[in-house]
A and B are shown apart, each in its own frame.
Chain A
Amino acid sequence: MDQGFKRRLIAAMGEAIIAHAEELTALDSAIGDGDHGLNMKRGFEAVLADADNISAKPLPDALKAIGMTLVMKVGGASGPLYGTLAMGLGKALPAAPSVAEAAAALGRAIEDVKSRGKSEAGQKTMLDVLVPVQAAFAAGGAGLATRLPAVAAEAADATVPMKAIRGRASFLGERSIGHMDPGARSSSLLVQAICRVFNEA
């Protein structure tokens, strides 16, 4: 993966999060503490500011650097969670992964996120997007970069009727039902941003 491509991936992720920061904050205000958009924006602004340096690194190191930046800058639980995802990918990915290797690495990184958040799919979190996206990714086939954004969007929608079990939203109990999980939404946005860059390649 060349530097320009990594640079475009970073830009696409950062721009998606920044453009949707208010939406993420509104989702989080409904069922949480209302800081998800701002926190993610702060984290990705820091990643964008360091994009030239990060994209010059080999893919695994670039992902570790992104993860570390998110951990240090986000300031909410989403920092360690997304940071763990990126660092986990950096740890599991070879420098030039095949599709199968990338899907397997994402699977391992998702396991890291589960232990960090002490959570599983079905609890109205980012995992409810990441797990089905990884499953579709691992199943492979043609047109992945076109299909995965749809899988992610549908999975985020599917968090609306769920009751939150983890995170601040769980304090609301039944009242968390009827709102999309902000972490599921931000995960879906990132999947869409990444796939768009692969589609344009």
Chain B
Amino acid sequence: MGEQKNVGIVIVSHSAKVAEGAADMVRQMVGDSVPLAAVGGNADGGLGTDVGAIMGAIDKAWSESGVAILVDLGGAETNSEMAVEMMPEDRRERIVICNAPLVEGAVMAATEASGGSSLDAVRATAEELMGG
């Protein structure tokens, strides 16, 4: 039950392989202690991002403590922002998109989350990688 309270992590890449690989690296670090979902690729299976799939990933990694999203390039961020706006209003304020590199950010954020940290702390840890 305690596991559900940890902040969830969503990985959004243009590439399904990158998303899956980053998720593997996160699990190696934190196991199943953090709700985790990874998506990559467009609706046709090519490189790109898919708003519907991102919404599904947020649902899958949902935690009452919130969800931190890590993205790679431009479209992943724009589509993630769109997905967040399309989530139910009471969830929106508990979802953040981190300004951090995808792989390093996901591992750092998940490690922070696995200790039961708040969404703000999880985001701050990921964003420290940007020198912030």
Residues of A within 8 A of B (CB): 33, 35, 38-39, 42, 71-73, 75-81, 83-84, 116-117, 167-168
Q: Which of B44-61 contact A (CB under 8 A)?
A: 44, 46-52
Of B49, B52, B86, which one neighbours A76 at CB under 8 angstroms? B49
Contact-size category for B? 10 to 19
B82 CB to closest chain A CB (Å) equals: 4
Contact B46 A73 (CB under 8 A): no
Q: Which residue from chain B places its CB closest to the CB of A171 in the assembled complex? A: B73
Q: How far is the CB of A44 from chain B (nearest CB, A)?
A: 14
Asked whether A35 lies within 8 Å of B47 as measured between CB atoms, the reply is yes
Contact partners of A35 in chain B: CB under 8 A: 46-48
A73 to B74, CA, bound (A): 17
Interface centre among A42, A79, A81, A83 (most CB of B within 10 A): A79
When distances are taken between beta carbons in the complex, the residues of chain A under 8 Å from B78 are 77, 80-81, 116-117
A-B contact pairs, 21 of them (CB 8 A): A33-B14, A33-B47, A35-B48, A39-B42, A42-B42, A42-B43, A71-B51, A71-B82, A71-B86, A73-B43, A75-B44, A75-B46, A76-B75, A77-B78, A77-B79, A78-B75, A79-B51, A80-B82, A116-B78, A116-B82, A168-B74
Q: Are B48 and A80 in contact (CB under 8 A)?
A: no
Contact of A75 among B43, B73, B74, B81 (CB under 8 A): B43
Scoring B residues 58 to 97 as 1 if CB is less than 8 Å from chain A, else 0, what string do you get?
0000000000000001110011011000100000000000
Bound CA–CA A39/B78 (angstroms): 15
